[in-house]
Amino acid sequence: MDRITLRNEFVTVALDRKGAELQSIVDAAGREWMWQADPTFWPRHAPILFPIVGRAAGDQIFVEGVSYPIGQHGFARDRMFEVLSSGPERAGFRLLADADTLKHYPFEFELDIRFELAGATLFQTVTARNHGNRPMPAAIGFHPAFQWPLPGAKGPQTGHVAIFEREEPADIRRLKDGGVDPATRPTPVLGKVLALDPSLFLEDAIIFDEVRSRSVWFGVEGTDGLRVDFPDLPYLGIWTKPGAPFLCIEPWQGHAAMLGFEGEMAEMPGMVSVPPGGSMTRHIAIRIGAPSP
């Protein structure tokens, strides 16, 4: 069984073994909140990014001076996971290192992805374990894509906002030629509010590498929207393709290499060194509802 459904009185959630990917969140009124992967724009729903976030310089990582080819966002999003558990309100998936992953990432890892419903909130937990005998550099990223405009929101995309938990005065970063431009840009957030407009994304994603908030609400004020909590992730990306009817809110542990970077994988932004026998866990939660007061 490749597709798993979680359900309670508030939401119905669909998950897929490929990438252990969240594919659908339907509320009690039958409204779909997730982007449905139209290949005209972007053929994914909410991939998990591992063992890198973004693109490595030259699409290769260096581990102890040896080069390994690796694609954007790593390989977990395209692999079939084992189903560890499946119940009405929770499910667990696992991916283990194998001969193919070792060609791209020379570490004996175990990657567990767990989902749990609690009321109108979906909790998602990702744990990377190191079963090898040397420190394992690793990054984890979440990449959920939501309908834009959201269901029930009347009017155009430009009526939507992202409301941050705290004021966000720090400069942002942008991508350039697949890497992160070292030059910063003034934040488009006014206080806590980012007024969303497709023109914001003509230069690709907005990267908050000094984000103060640990949650952001997306929607039209006065209506139900989506709150994404990211309690232990230090970076945030917001992205769409101009003209596409979706918005990605992406909490990350790590991000793409800076332009000109030529170092080891362990030196890439946000990399965590997982010790032998150790693990790294990161969490997000997605909740349908009005913004917090």
| % of the chain beyond a pLDDT of 90 | 92
Average pLDDT over residues 72-77: 98
Taking residues 74-99, what's their average pLDDT?
97
Please report, for the chain, the start and end positions of each structural domain, with discontinuous segments joined by +. 3-289
pLDDT of residue 222: 86
Model's pTM, two decimal places? 0.96
More confident call, 156 vs 17 = 17
Q: pLDDT at position 56, please?
A: 96
Check residue 178 and give its pLDDT: 85
The confidence score (pLDDT) of residue 57 equals: 93
**Mean pLDDT for the chain?**
96
Supply the pLDDT for residue 158. 87
Q: pLDDT, tens digit, for every residue of 174-190?
A: 999 889 999 999 999 99
Determine the pLDDT at residue 35. 97
Q: What is residue 32's predicted lDDT score, i.e. its pLDDT? A: 97
For the segment 217-228, what is each residue's pLDDT rounded down to a tens digit? 999 988 899 999
- Percentage of residues of the chain with pLDDT beyond 70: 99
At residue 127, the pLDDT reads: 98
Structurally, at CATH architecture level, domain 3-289 sits in Distorted Sandwich (2.70)
Give me the pLDDT at residue 293, please: 56
What pLDDT, in 10s, does the model give residues 240-289?
Answer: 998 899 999 999 999 999 999 999 999 999 999 999 999 999 999 999 98
Q: Is the peptide bond before 275 cis (omega within 30 degrees of 0)?
A: no
Q: Which of 154-168, 202-216, 248-262 has the lowest mean pLDDT?
A: 154-168
Q: How far is CA 193 from the centre of its chain?
A: 21
